[in-house]
Amino acid sequence: MKKIWSRLEGELTSKASEILESLNLGADESDVEALEEYVGQELPTDYRDFLIMHNGQSQESNPGFFDMFSLMPLDLVQESWDELEGLRDDAGEDETCPGDWLPFAEDGSGDMLCVELESGAISKYVSNDENEELADSFEGWLADIHAILKNGEFSYDPASGFGIQPKGPEEDEDEDDGSVSGQDDDDVVMDSDDDDDETAMTYKFTAKMIELYEGEEKVGTAPWGDINKVRVSSYAGDPLISINLPEGSDPEELEIPANVANSDKLFKYLGKLKGWDKEAFEEALANADKDEEILVWG
């Protein structure tokens, strides 16, 4: 375990140092034992060894660890264990996951990475969808991340809130060679409704939420996991993306032009929604007109 972590640590140092800096100090042995007593089983040795080195990530850190997932410290691991236990009690294992799955990373929308206490395998719990096995062990999962970094098969933007993003063939084709995303690319500036009002609304897209600003002041947030509906309509002939949030949210609806300079980031994060149909969304954008509103998700 220490050998593969040392190798991964070296890659993170040179390619994603912010992730390394976000890791907490190691957990006390007594705290790990307390978790084992709480769940009624010993932790797999490789995950246990990792916790002694790093007790998850700081919850104030911006980048995740891998994809949209952030590593949880022991207190949140226990809370998430209780959450899954409650879901299993309500819906059963067939609709959730087996009883020995211990969450160790979360994405803020209900999905979790879990270590299977019996086998040590790593699986992804996906709420409202099929679960997925990722690796045969925690150490193997870290080894896979190391290989992705070593081979350059990833993208990483610390300002986005994502961790290491593995690249697929489609992504490689879509991206321009040598392009680098800057932090300013996360900001979308829109004119306010009042033409005499010099304050512009700014939306900053991160992996976990949309942050709303008026000038330099942060005025609200909209977690991706809270989105109820996404619709496409038209404003002055240009497609407009309407995002509905739960009743009582502030705001309850966001309206964002589809032709903003960094729309690719908005679409990327929207694409993480469960059941998202990219083709239906693109068709709606292409066919939007003033008199029609098209529901594309929710």
How many other CB atoms sit within 10 Å of the CB of residue 141? 22
Largest CA distance in the chain: 64
| Local confidence band at 91 (pLDDT 50, 70, 90 cut-offs) | confident
Query: Among residues 119, 136, 170, which one ends one of the domains?
Result: 170
Q: Tell whether 125 and 246 lie within a shared domain.
A: no
178 dihedral zone (left: phi>0; alpha: psi -120 to 50; beta): left
Is residue 45 in a domain? Answer: yes
Is residue 179 in a domain? Answer: no
pLDDT digits (tens, 9 = 90+) for 39-70: 999 999 999 999 999 999 997 766 889 988 99
| Local confidence band at 32 (pLDDT 50, 70, 90 cut-offs) | very high
Q: Tell whether 7 and 70 lie within a shared domain.
A: yes
Q: Tell whether 190 and 163 lie within a shared domain.
A: no
pLDDT digits (tens, 9 = 90+) for 150-182: 999 999 888 777 889 888 654 444 444 433 333
Amino acid at position 45, single letter: T
Q: Tell whether 153 and 211 lie within a shared domain.
A: no
Give how many domains the chain has, as a whole number.
2
Amino acid at position 33, single letter: E
Is residue 178 in a domain? Answer: no
Residue 199's pLDDT is 52
11 dihedral zone (left: phi>0; alpha: psi -120 to 50; beta): alpha
Of the candidates 69, 51, 63, 55, which has an alpha carbon nearest to the alpha carbon of residue 24? Answer: 55
In terms of residue numbers, what domain contains 7? 2-170
Q: Quick check: 74 pLDDT over 80?
A: yes
Q: Tell whether 104 and 211 lie within a shared domain.
A: no
CATH of the domain at 265: 2.30.29
| Local confidence band at 89 (pLDDT 50, 70, 90 cut-offs) | confident
Query: Among residues 121, 146, 170, which one ends one of the domains?
Result: 170
Is residue 114 in a domain? Answer: yes
Query: Among residues 170, 205, 238, which one ends one of the domains?
Result: 170
Q: Tell whether 95 and 127 lie within a shared domain.
A: yes
pLDDT digits (tens, 9 = 90+) for 183-238: 344 444 443 344 444 456 777 777 677 888 887 788 888 887 788 888 888 766 67
Question: Residue for token digits 């040795």?
Answer: 45
